[in-house]
Amino acid sequence: MMKGLTQSQPQLLQLQQEPVPSQQPAVEALNPAVQQQLNLEHVKIRATSLFKAISRILEDFDGYAGTNTTPRWQDILGQYSMVNLELFNIVDEIRKVSKAFVVHPKNVNAENSMILPVMLSSKLLPEMETDDNLKKDQLLHGLQNLPIALQIEKMKARIYTIAAACESAEKVLSETRKAYGFGARQGPTITPTLDKVQAAKIQEQEKLLRAAVNFGEGLVSRDQRQMALALPMHLADVLNVGPEMQNLVDTSGVYQKITPTQINTISAQSALLQASGVQLLARSGTNMNTPSPQQQSPQQQQQHQQQLLQPQQRPKMMSLSQHQQLLTQQQFRQSAMPGPGQLHGQPQKQQFSQAPGNHKQFQGRQLASGIGGQLGQGNLMSRNLGQTSGAANNALFNAAQTVQNTQMVPNVSATMPSQSLLPSRLQYGLSGSNPQSTHSSQLLNEKMLNMGGANQTGMLPLQQQGGSQGAFGNMQQPNAQTFQLNMVALQNNPQNHQGAFCQQRSQNQQ
Amino acid sequence: MECIVQGIIETQHVEALGILLQGLCGVQKEQLRIHELCLKSVPNLGSVSSEVKILCDLVPPETTWTVRHVGGSMRGAGADQISVLVRTMVESKASKNVLRFFYALGYKLDHELLRVGFAFHFHRGAQISVTVSSINKMLKLHATDDAVPVTPGMQLVEVTAPATSENYTEVVAAMSSFCEHLAPLLHLSKPGISTGVVPTAAAAAASLMSDGGGTTL
């Protein structure tokens, strides 16, 4: 510490001397005003007194070291305190001196000792400096070579021209504003008035428009319910109608006749379902026309019967909800689906396909159709069930439906080759338009299949319950044995995909 | 939540409005062609009936689907003082099978319409969208190519801005101040409140058009 002090003193002395020659080489002495400010004399006095105090201490220590006597600490401490005092005085003087040149931070401690140099520096950060230079270049473009006074003049001229341009723009804006009444709260002075007739027309149109946008009124007309023959691109993908639709328009004239009348009676909310119903109807038309194996022919006959019976049942169907109507349409689609790819649908359809019958039975079948991949539709149908009254064995239906769902799903997912299966699913569940067979019987048949030859005696009472709803058709005699026979017969025919289906079913059961 | 006002403008002034909006917003106008399908739930689907809108943006190259649910609007004395309708709204993009999904859920198509026009999206105090479109109805189901306007001589102008319950006052203020700029051509009001046509519209439109369509920005 003492060494540091001794070193600082010669520096101080140098400080006093250096500024004099280095600051303004052209001038020999400092400006007298600066000299007065600097108060160099005082600094010199303080420095010398500090020097004396420190040298005194040094002498004392030399003496102690020489004579080997124990130093008297009070004396030494006193001398140190003198040094301290002198230090304070000189720092004070230095501060006054160097106010013009340096900044002396008051509070320096460990935390800010690193940052202080950066914070105190007047030089900009490098990025800021480059920005500054860029802006300066832009401003002084072409002017940097001139003397500073000229630069200032030119900048002033530039500012003046810009201000003038702004003022003239303001004037133009305000004039036009006045002329056209823009932005004026009182509005234009001359307000053209509309004829009353015109105003009334406009108001009417406005009502129409607002109603259409906000509430959707007036957008639906009678003929709107007809399906457009060609769906726009964005819907064609989504609704899967497209090409199939066009194929089917020609095939089954009977079905086509049916749809418009039904559609007209349906409320506006059934558009899509009707559309899909139309699709499905059309598809079933093609299926109808394809040559079918033996087992399908009786069903085709039944389908024809359904067609014939349909007009009779139309009044009933009109009163149904749209779902039901759609589903009835779908029922007529005895989807004798060609190809082995659609195994699942067909056997069920064939089992269920009957002549058209009661609503309830339709609904029942609709329930049964909620199978596997058509959970969505199945939900619709179960809703139908919920809505309709008088359908017997609701619990049974639901149970059967869930049973069917759980069992059918794996098969469905495994063997679903194309999207055309979806409508087939719709179809098979919904078809089976046997008015005489009961839904419960169908479900029972399902259940029997699913349970793999369960106790037939247990089944019979259920069948009898179902039988109460109406007569039974050919396929669904309420006799488990005959059903089993049918199953066997089906299985016997290797070509029959129903057989394959049954096989799969039996596999399911296992 | 969203803040929305609607107004009407005669079709003859639509171009002038486009010029005015371009000057005000500073962005390019975007073409608008949206097929809107409004689906309603059947009675047994939920405790209350709900309505969902599926919007299909038909502007090429790709069609994008959006699902939108509009809820109730703000009510009360405070709401009456605001000139803008503030209502809950939830919107989300969806994949293209959203329509089939909703049908599978049990929603039925209630009505559909086609909006054809242009839109501006910009930020001025709030993210504001202005759409000027003619509302078309389809004579046959889903036949968007053969749509005819519901009101041939009149188009709908909608100014919307998304908002949250915390910042809706600022959004409302931003929208109101923007709507004042449109005062010469049309009046904007809450949906459901009819405004009529502005008498200065013709003169304003003429002056806007007289610059030869304005200068390109």
Domain containing B46 — which CATH number?
A: 2.40.320.10
Min CA distance, A507 vs chain B (Å)?
Answer: 30
Contacts of A183 in chain B (CB under 8 A): 180-181, 183
Contacts of A238 in chain B (CB under 8 A): 96-97, 99-100
Look up the pTM and report it: 0.42
Residue pair A336/A427 in contact by the 8 Å Cβ criterion: no
Min CA distance, B164 vs chain A (Å)?
Answer: 22
**Spatial distance between the Cα atoms of A181 and A202, rounded to a whole number of angstroms:** 24
Contact: B207, A180; criterion CB under 8 Å? yes
Helix/strand/coil for A396: helix
B191: in domain: yes
Region at A129 (left for phi over 0; alpha for psi -120 to 50; beta for the rest): alpha
Mutate to test the interface with B, among A198, A269, A388 (most CBs of B within 10 A): A269
Domain around B30? 2-210
Contact: B58, A194; criterion CB under 8 Å? no
Peptide bond into A315 cis (omega under 30): no
Residue A255 burial (CB count, 10 A): 23
Residue pair A431/A365 in contact by the 8 Å Cβ criterion: yes
Residue pair A370/A429 in contact by the 8 Å Cβ criterion: yes
Contact: A269, B108; criterion CB under 8 Å? yes
pLDDT band at A213 (very low <50, low <70, confident <90, very high): confident
If you count residue pairs, one on A and one on B, with CB atoms under 8 Å apart, how many are there?
166
Q: What is the pLDDT at residue B119?
A: 94
Residue pair A452/A375 in contact by the 8 Å Cβ criterion: no
Look up residue A362 and give its two tokens: 């339709």
Contact: A270, B42; criterion CB under 8 Å? no
Contacts of B113 in chain A (CB under 8 A): 212-213, 216, 219
Average pLDDT over residues A156-160: 91
What DSSP element (H or E) covers A485? helix A480-492
Contact: A376, B103; criterion CB under 8 Å? yes
Which residue in A482, A478, A483 sits closest to A505, CA to CA? A483
Q: DSSP state, A194? A: P
Q: Which of residues 375-434 of A touch B (CB under 8 A)?
A: 375-377, 379-380, 383, 386-387
Q: Which of B143, B194, B197 faces A194 most closely, judged by CB atoms? A: B197
B189: in domain: yes
pLDDT tens for B102-152 read 988 888 888 889 999 999 999 988 899 999 999 998 888 888 888 888 888
pLDDT band at B61 (very low <50, low <70, confident <90, very high): confident
Contacts of A374 in chain B (CB under 8 A): none
Place of tokens 């078809």: A431
B104: in domain: yes
Q: What is the pLDDT at residue B128?
A: 93
Q: Residues near A58 by Cβ (< 8 Å), separated by ≥ 6?
A: A2
Q: What is the pLDDT at residue A225?
A: 60
Check if A216 contacts B (Cβ < 8 Å): yes
Look up residue A234 and give its two tokens: 């964005």
Helix count and strand count (H, E) for chain B: 5, 9
Min CA distance, A375 vs chain B (Å)?
Answer: 8
Helix/strand/coil for A116: helix
Q: DSSP state, B184? A: T
Q: Which of B135, B180, B196 faces A202 most closely, judged by CB atoms? A: B196
Q: What is the pLDDT at residue B62?
A: 84
Is the model's pLDDT at A197 over the cut of 50? Answer: yes
Min CA distance, A236 vs chain B (Å)?
Answer: 10
Q: What is the pLDDT at residue A65?
A: 81
Q: What is the pLDDT at residue A223?
A: 55
Is the model's pLDDT at B158 over the cut of 80? Answer: yes
Q: Which of A209, A233, A322 faces B150 most closely, judged by CB atoms? A: A209
Contact: A235, B99; criterion CB under 8 Å? yes
Using CA atoms, how far residue B175 sits from A39, B130, B167, in Å, is: 67, 10, 13
Average pLDDT over residues A222-226: 57
Number of domains in chain B: 1
Contacts of B100 in chain A (CB under 8 A): 238-239
Q: DSSP state, B211? A: T
Which residue in B81, B89, B31 sits closest to B60, CA to CA? B31
Residue pair B14/B109 in contact by the 8 Å Cβ criterion: no
**Spatial distance between the Cα atoms of A345 and A240, rounded to a whole number of angstroms:** 19
Average pLDDT over residues B184-189: 87
B216: in domain: no
Q: Which of A214, A232, A377 faces B144 most closely, judged by CB atoms? A: A232
Look up residue B212 and give its two tokens: 């030869």
Average pLDDT over residues B190-208: 82
Helix/strand/coil for A376: helix
Helix/strand/coil for A152: helix
- Looking from the CA of A357 toward its CB, the CA atoms found within 13 Å total 27
Contact: A238, B96; criterion CB under 8 Å? yes
Is the model's pLDDT at B178 over the cut of 80? Answer: yes
ipTM above 0.95, yes or no: no
Which residue in B51, B96, B129, B88 sits closest to A216, CA to CA? B51
Q: How far apart are the first and last CA of chain B?
A: 33
More confident residue, A444 or A55: A55
Place of tokens 């309505």: B51
Residue A150 burial (CB count, 10 A): 11
Q: What is the pLDDT at residue A164?
A: 94
Is the model's pLDDT at A431 over the cut of 90? Answer: no
B217: in domain: no
Q: What is the pLDDT at residue A82?
A: 82
Contact: B150, A387; criterion CB under 8 Å? no
Enumerate the β-bridge partners of residue B85.
B4
Is the model's pLDDT at B32 over the cut of 60? Answer: yes
Range of lowest pLDDT (A90-99, A149-158, A417-426): A417-426
Sign of the CA dihedral running B184, B187, B188, B189: positive
Contacts of A182 in chain B (CB under 8 A): 183-184, 204
Helix/strand/coil for A51: helix
One-letter amino acid identity for A68?
N
Backbone angles phi, psi at A306, to 5 degrees: -60, -40
Contacts of B145 in chain A (CB under 8 A): 232
Average pLDDT over residues A468-497: 44
Residue pair A423/A349 in contact by the 8 Å Cβ criterion: no
CA angle (A369, A370, A371) in 5-degree steps = 90
pLDDT tens for A94-110 read 777 777 667 666 777 77
Mutate to test the interface with A, among B111, B113, B154 (most CBs of A within 10 A): B111
Q: Which of residues 96-115 of A touch B (CB under 8 A)?
A: none
* Chain center to CA of A47: 78
Q: Which of residues 144-203 of A touch B (CB under 8 A)?
A: 180-183, 187-188, 191-194, 199, 202-203
Range of lowest pLDDT (A173-177, B26-30, B210-214): B210-214
Is the model's pLDDT at A321 over the cut of 90? Answer: no
Backbone angles phi, psi at B197, to 5 degrees: -100, 150
Q: Residues near A118 by Cβ (< 8 Å), separated by ≥ 6?
A: none
Contact: A268, B110; criterion CB under 8 Å? yes
Contact: A269, B42; criterion CB under 8 Å? yes
Look up residue B102 and give its two tokens: 């909703």
Look up residue A55 and give its two tokens: 């040298």
Find, in chain A, the residue whose alpha carbon is nearest to that of B45: A383
**Spatial distance between the Cα atoms of A474 and A295, rounded to a whole number of angstroms:** 13
Residue pair B35/B144 in contact by the 8 Å Cβ criterion: yes
